Structure 1
Amino acid sequence: MQMLISRRALRDGLVAIIVVGSMALGAAGCAGGDDDAPKEGGEFVAGTFLCGGQAVSDQAGKALEVITGSSRFEESDETSTVVHAARELSEKFTSSATGDGDICTVFAEDAKQSDRLEVTWELTGGPPEGEPASKFRVLRMGERALAAPDAGVVQFACRNEKSLGSQPAHVDIGVERWSPEEPEGDPEKLTDAYATVAHSVSLAMAKELGCENNGGLEPRPVLAPA
């Protein structure tokens, strides 16, 4: 079975999981091709070149290797960048305090079409609420950060009166694994890795948005539990 976590569930760390059974997967496979087949891609690059080339730090690039077991990834397309996502986020915030979108999708070299990382953004309309599910480690980054062996999210408040107005935007950056397989590797190392990647993309987004004090994010991820 494949376990898919909704964006809102990922953000709040709540147990809101959709279990997609083999019949559903089979139907999707008939409609969209063989998910077990290798992903057909073009150029492959190091992790630091993904998502526009500014989103993944050297440390986060190594974290991607921990998560995927690969050092090469399918090159992101021209619109799968933090710059493009920041523009969409800013436009959405001017008309609504909530919204969401994609930043980029990460496919490791030789990965199956069904095995990927999705990097997303969300405007939540307010600070984080609710208690996280037990699988998540709570971290002191931004307003709150959560990390697990298969997902990570950093939530920060962005103040920039010039582009966003007088009210802060509450931004969540999520990194989520979509795969029919269970994560492989040491759970603690995987949790650190997801936190590291989520922090790197969040810091890049905060800088691109021009957030005061980079949204309260430090230059390096804080991995110790809060």
Structure 2
Amino acid sequence: MLVLSLGVSACGGGGEDEEPRFVVGAEKLCDGILSGDVARSVEALVGTETLWRTGNDVLEDTASAIKDFYAESPDGRKYVGSKDFCRFAGYSRGAGQMDINFGIYRAEDVLSTGHSAQEHPYRLGKRALAGSGASRLYFECVTAQMEGSDEQPARINVSSKISGPPGWKSEDTRAVREAHLSVLHATALAVAKKLGCENNGGLPEKVVLEPMADPAEPESAPAT
């Protein structure tokens, strides 16, 4: 079973005035960015619709972090130390979790055709790699919120990793990989809109997952 974790700690406590420690339905978490089939994909990946409650304001916090990354180094790279976005974690024992993070990348990171053996390329954004345990999506953003992006777009990457308890393993099928990538698309689109990216950063409103031919031998992900 899988649980998506986006880097926001679950709330605890048990006072009468406190909110329950769990919710039913992925659309109730992370500023409500997921809905419909994408929310159901999360629940299928984690193996349950009952999830630990996580914090809100993730869109505002993530957009602010990306603007800081870009201001610090418009042509930089930020994988290690990237911004934790949100967490979808199954409430039941034995469930997994999925962590989603945002950072920035360099132009050459999307020019390479190399990738890990577990990832499959898709035609989405500037580059998209879908795996059963980890996926990545890259897009560019031109926005008035980031000075200079009209000349040098902000290059934004969103990545996710699914993990679980000892002995747990995600099923490596096309359906699982594409469910994983559909969640990344939804989170990337929400952040692109929050940043005011022109043309939503080149991301479609409704994702169409089109696998690409893979001419290259798999290799390691780019170094940080």
- Size of the alignment, in residue pairs? 183
Gaps of 5+ in 2: 1-19, 213-224
Measured after TM superposition, the shift of residue 47 of structure 1 is 0.6
Structure 1: give runs of 5+ residues left out of the alignment.
Answer: 1-40
Determine the C-alpha separation between the residues in 2 that align with 1:125 and 1:119.
19
Name 2:101's counterpart in structure 1: 120
Deviation, 1:119, is 0.8
Distance 1:164 1:109, change over 3 A: farther
Residue in structure 2 matching 1:133, options 99, 112, 116: 116
Which residue, out of 81, 84, 89, partners 1:102? Answer: 84
Once the two structures are superposed, the pairs formed by residues 25-174 of structure 1 within 5 Å of their partners are: 42-54=21-33, 56-79=34-57, 81-96=58-73, 97-99=76-78, 100-111=82-93, 115-126=96-107, 127-130=109-112, 131-166=114-149, 167-174=152-159
- Judge conservation of contact 2:126–2:139 (CA < 8 Å) in 1: yes
After TM superposition, list the pairs within 5 Å mapping 1:183-222 onto structure 2. Answer: 183-185=169-171, 187-222=173-208
Identify the range of structure 1 (123-132 vs 180-189) with the bigger mean alpha-carbon deviation: 180-189
Q: Give runs of ≥4 in structure 1 deviating > 4 Å.
A: none
Q: If the length of structure 1 is used for normalisation, what is the TM-score?
A: 0.73
Local SS of the residue matching 1:132: coil
* Distance in 1 separating the partners of 2:28 and 2:135: 20
Task: Check conservation: 2:42, 2:183, Cα contact below 8 A.
Answer: yes
What letter corresponds to residue 109 of structure 1 in structure 2? Y
Does the Cα contact within 8 Å between 1:52 and 1:83 map onto a contact in 2?
no
* Percentage of identical aligned residues: 25
Counterpart for residue 19 of structure 1: none
- Asked if structure 2 preserves the Cα contact closer than 8 Å seen for 1:90 and 1:164, the reply is no
Higher helix share: 1
SS of match in other structure, 1:52: helix
Task: Give the Cα–Cα distance (whole angstroms) in 2 for the partners of residues 153 and 111 of structure 1.
Answer: 28
Counterparts of 2:55 and 2:211, CA distance in 1? 35
Measure, in 2, the Cα distance between the counterparts of 1:162 and 1:84: 14
Shift of 1:184: 4.2
Deviation at 1:94, TM superposition (A): 1.0
Q: Give TM-score scaled by structure 2 length.
A: 0.74
Aligned-residue CA RMSD in angstroms? 2.1
